[in-house]
Structure 1
Amino acid sequence: MKLFSDAAIADLRKKQAEWEEKELAAALKGRAEERSDYQTECGIPLKRVYTAADVADIPADELGFPGAYPFVRGVYPTMYRGRPWTIRQVAGFGNPEATNRRYKYMIETGQTGLSTDFDLPTLLGLDSDDPMAFGEVGRVGVAIDTIEDIERLFDGIDLEKISVSLTINPSAWVIYAMFISVAEQRGCDLTKLAGTLQADPLKEYVAQKEWIYPVRQAVRLLRDMIVYSTKVTPKINPISLSGYHLSDVGGNAIQEIAFIMAFTIAYCEEVIAAGMDIDDFAPRLSFFFISHQDFFEQICKFRAARRVYAKVMSERFKAKKPESMRLRVHVQTAAMSLTKVEYHNNLMRTAIQALGAVLGGCQSMHTNGLDEAFAIPTEEAMKLAIRTQQIIRDEINVTSVVDPLGGSYFVERLTWDMEREIWKVLDEVDQLGGAVKLVEDGWFQQKLADSAYAIFKKIDSGEKISVGVNRYVDENARALDAEIHPYDEQCTQLQIDRLNAVRAKRDTALVQRLLKELKEQARSSDVNLLPKTIELAKARATLGEICGALREVWGAYEEPMIV
């Protein structure tokens, strides 16, 4: 079904031609436009004006209604009328008690979900007393070594009543094992636990560069966690496919969505091969995207992603449940857009990006602190970030109408064009052998490197404007006048002392026996490693011991050369 008749479109095109010949031509004689090649950040050409003629070839059923296939207008029928997005500011630094205090402060300020950053040693599966961890313990996230650290991290927090996001990837299965073990010890009903693990291994190899094992073994660990969590903790999302990090290293909007959809396909194929039906686990897949600077491009990106995902699930994997086709998205505003010079400008950048995420239909959001270009945000910066979301939600009346930009000639055309470009990339990935192979080959890494180079060339030349940095520069502005969150120099020794205390009181023979059994299971691709990992967590094995056991069996990843 077409939205407009052929006759109406022909008449409109005739009238537009007359307008261009008269009014537009006269205006251009008096004042030329600033440039001739307007386009989105990802390179899609932009017309001067959009009319019904620009959407005449888009079938009406490709738009649909909120909460109905293909979900372009939103994943739920009532969207923010029924439930606002979750305010989920990330926190994580120092020892578990410090992060716990920040949790409680943010809950008092109005945060509605918890999100945790972990330090680099934890991400890489190293204990705090490992020589490789020196200088990094608790610096960019919270340090976790044993199950007792998880107990401290969530002290006084009801895990059945608040959702918890864990930003952890290579060692995600160990943190998950510790988390549900703590919940069990508290007597929680595991079916009531809600939250998300990031746990996206492929994006680590192409973007964030935090890995432990070779690619296929890392995907196997994710498979085990999806299979296990689907049955045991059905309200926990076992993965958040993270396009944010692809963008953060220079990927454009098309690459962000297309690459993540390629990874989604690879993960689904892996889990299906393990014997699960797509409708058994797809409803718990979740996504993490960036809301960047090109306002309308980002809004259309979210809308196009929902339609692509719905089609992938329904047409490629033959999903039957609507929940399997709903692309649920956590959004973070763009850290790479923040500046040290005139850092107060970051408040405005973040507010506009957050509004774009809301108009794009996100389900939860983190807004960056104005001082995050320097360090972990201070409490005051975090409060302002939460207030940004509260003002958008409660003051400006944008949540009253579902998909308020739906039907805009420009928005629908750009959504359609972006979708077409995403499908082109997915077709190319299929033709070249699939996502896992291309990660191993370095194909995605090369594409992101090329995109990043092109972006930074534009910044250096001034073609891409950064206010206060390469345009409207205040020569008297100073970059280092912000109050910086302090690093706890005692954190490392505290964690080491705790590790020694745990090792002294645990049953070491039991831990060694369980580690040996874990290594034996790892040699078979058919065994799920989660039950044994949970046994190890309860026995007070350390994160480094568990991750190190599999490193002995599988080896470590070596990155291909990217030129």
Structure 2
Amino acid sequence: MSTSGEITSKREQWEEQSVKPVLKKSPERKANFQTNSGLALKRLYTPEDLQNQDYEKELGYPGQYPFTRGVQSTMYRGRFWTMRQYAGFGSAEESNNRYHYLLGQGQTGLSVAFDLPTQMGYDADHSMSDGEVGKVGVSICSLDDMEVLLKGLPLDKITTSMTINSTASVLLALYIAVAKKNGVPLSKIGGTVQNDILKEYVARGTYIYPSRPSMRLITDMIAFCTNEVPNWNTISISGYHIREAGSTAVQEVAFTLANGIAYVEAAIASGQDVDKFASRLSFFFNAHNEFLEEVAKFRAARRLWAKIMRNRFKAQNPQSWMLRFHTQTAGSMLTAQQPENNIVRVTLQALASVLGGTQSLHTNSMDEALALPTEKAVRIALRTQQILAYESGVADTIDPLAGSYMVEALTDEIEQKAQEYLDKIDEMGGTLKALDRGFFHNEIEDAAYRWQEEVETGQRIIVGVNKFATDETATVDRLKLNPALRAEQIVRLNALKARRNSEVATAKLEALKTAAEGTDNLMPYIIDCVENLITLGEICNTLRGVFGVYRPS
């Protein structure tokens, strides 16, 4: 076996005798190679790059601290990741049909997209909803809509992920109300609400209330579900939208975990035991184009979170140390030009997710840069996951890229750089203080600017966009939405309000207002409201009256 000195000597000999003569004849493609995060890439990685790595301390074994190699002991040899296709558009009935179609095609979990009015706390009849009802997701205003959305779906057998933040408590209340009406015990329902308001302030913008009352809604939901809905993931701390806004991979890890720290701190401050709620925190990451950096990113995030939970928060239960995450392929990397190329991009991003150890995966459809996906496009996206699972063999052994000199070195460097960001955020006084100072916005905007500049100058190649472009116009079929949907939703809303007991509705909203002014957990009041046919918009307006609205400085 070669010693480290011998390896160094032979590498230097190789560089002198083999590399230099080749470089004189044919220079490398560029002077500096680096990842999307700006991490320098060496020409060659060797055991020298891992000579200080302690296997037990930094890698260990799957299902054991620090979880670098995965959170389950057998990973995909036990069962595959949950295959979710993010879907929702138009009416509840149209979306329900798409869910049944996807389940029939082999999808193993639901993932619900809501339209902007639903995300922003407006019913379809509000002036702010004009032109947006059902456009980028399904329109949900009331218990009636949620019952139609979930009609015929086995809520005790499937898990449902809902991408919803400001109104997460209302949508979870609606889901709970439907389960109760269908006789499904709350102990049997499973799923996730995104419920990550901090990243809305940082990167996306679908916020309603200021940060402090928003954090209260989140900790109330965590406490309620810990006791009443034990299989529900109360929050999906989302780096996905941070990356979509233009961050680097390092920033995605750092800023996501910074938000996670803030949520854990808030829950502990509200009197909750970290080991009772931490195992139901989940994460949501982006799978971007740079394949090896993405694999390393997932591994680094898992290890760093384990250290944070064990060392910073003194969690005792190993399940509290686990970073369980869902992945979605990068929507911002889809191109309207040559949309078929997106199938290849999504395949590579999905493969990085699997090799990085994801628990759940959504693969984008090739036509999403043009419109909401058609059934054909979404079927191809789902088949991409199924081919990876059943045909590629990559799921048959755990963490197959472990031990790669390059992947391990990159994992270490991403963790180190992310930790430097976390230290800087702590120096500012924590996530909320850094948010108030605009730190996250500035860092992300700078990274997004650099990326776009590289694309426009040709330093970064986007196939079919700034290189290998054609004059062809995309001819893919596009999903068409019902133009009368808003009017139909308003008719449904009026009918619901006409048949409910108006005096009871008024009393329930008053009770919610009083609770919001006090310190009671708000989840039981919100559930009581939706069960009495009070709409999402009415609930949110009541809370606006107490909490106010967030105005960016």
TM-score band by shorter chain is: over 0.9
14-23 or 169-178: bigger deviation: 14-23
Residue 523 of structure 2 corresponds to residue 507 of structure 1: no
Task: Tell me the TM-score normalized by structure 2.
Answer: 0.99
Residue 550 of structure 2 corresponds to residue 554 of structure 1: no
Partner of 2:351: 355
Unaligned runs of 5+ in 2: none
Partner of 1:370: 366
**Correspondent of 1:516 among 502, 510, 531:** 510
Partner of 1:128: 124
**Correspondent of 1:44 among 39, 43, 52:** 39
Answer whether contact 1:89 1:114 (CA < 8 A) is retained. yes
In structure 2, distance between residues paired with 1:197 and 1:463: 39
**Correspondent of 1:421 among 414, 417, 440:** 417
**Correspondent of 2:491 among 497, 500, 513:** 497
431-440 or 388-397: bigger deviation: 431-440
**Correspondent of 1:244 among 240, 246, 253:** 240
- Corresponding letter in the other structure for 2:150: F
Partner of 1:27: 22
In structure 1, distance between residues paired with 2:21 and 2:461: 30
Partner of 1:187: 183
Instruction: Give the 3-state SS of the residue equivalent to 1:269 in structure 2.
Output: helix
In structure 2, distance between residues paired with 1:210 and 1:131: 17
* Structure 2 counterparts to residues 160-171 of structure 1, below 5 A: 160-171=156-167
* Structure 2 counterparts to residues 237-276 of structure 1, below 5 A: 237-276=233-272
Partner of 2:51: 56
In structure 2, distance between residues paired with 1:82 and 1:458: 43
In structure 1, distance between residues paired with 2:271 and 2:278: 14
- Corresponding letter in the other structure for 2:346: T
Partner of 1:293: 289
Answer whether contact 1:215 1:440 (CA < 8 A) is retained. no
- Per-residue CA deviations over 1:434-469 (Å, capped at 9, x if unaligned) read 001222332211211111111111111111110011
In structure 1, distance between residues paired with 2:319 and 2:516: 33
Q: CA deviation at 1:17?
A: 1.0
Which consecutive aligned stretches of 4+ in structure 1 deviate over 6 angstroms post-superposition? none
Residue 154 of structure 2 corresponds to residue 158 of structure 1: yes
In structure 1, distance between residues paired with 2:229 and 2:440: 33
Count of aligned pairs between the two proteins:
552
- Corresponding letter in the other structure for 2:242: L
Partner of 2:336: 340
Q: Percent identity?
A: 46
In structure 1, distance between residues paired with 2:436 and 2:24: 55
Task: Tell me the TM-score normalized by structure 1.
Answer: 0.97
In structure 1, distance between residues paired with 2:468 and 2:153: 47
Q: CA deviation at 1:519?
A: 1.3
- Per-residue CA deviations over 1:200-249 (Å, capped at 9, x if unaligned) read 00000111111100111111111111110111111110111110000001
In structure 1, distance between residues paired with 2:370 and 2:13: 54
Answer whether contact 1:216 1:436 (CA < 8 A) is retained. no
- Corresponding letter in the other structure for 1:559: P
In structure 2, distance between residues paired with 1:401 and 1:179: 37
Measured on the aligned residues, the alpha-carbon RMSD in Å equals 1.0
Residue 531 of structure 2 corresponds to residue 538 of structure 1: yes
In structure 1, distance between residues paired with 2:137 and 2:83: 19
- Per-residue CA deviations over 1:454-493 (Å, capped at 9, x if unaligned) read 111111111111001101122x2213x2211101112111
In structure 1, distance between residues paired with 2:227 and 2:482: 40
- Per-residue CA deviations over 1:94-115 (Å, capped at 9, x if unaligned) read 1100000000000011100001
- Per-residue CA deviations over 1:49-70 (Å, capped at 9, x if unaligned) read 0000001112222111111100
In structure 2, distance between residues paired with 1:247 and 1:53: 32
Instruction: Give the 3-state SS of the residue equivalent to 2:525 in structure 1.
Output: helix
Q: CA deviation at 1:34?
A: 1.0
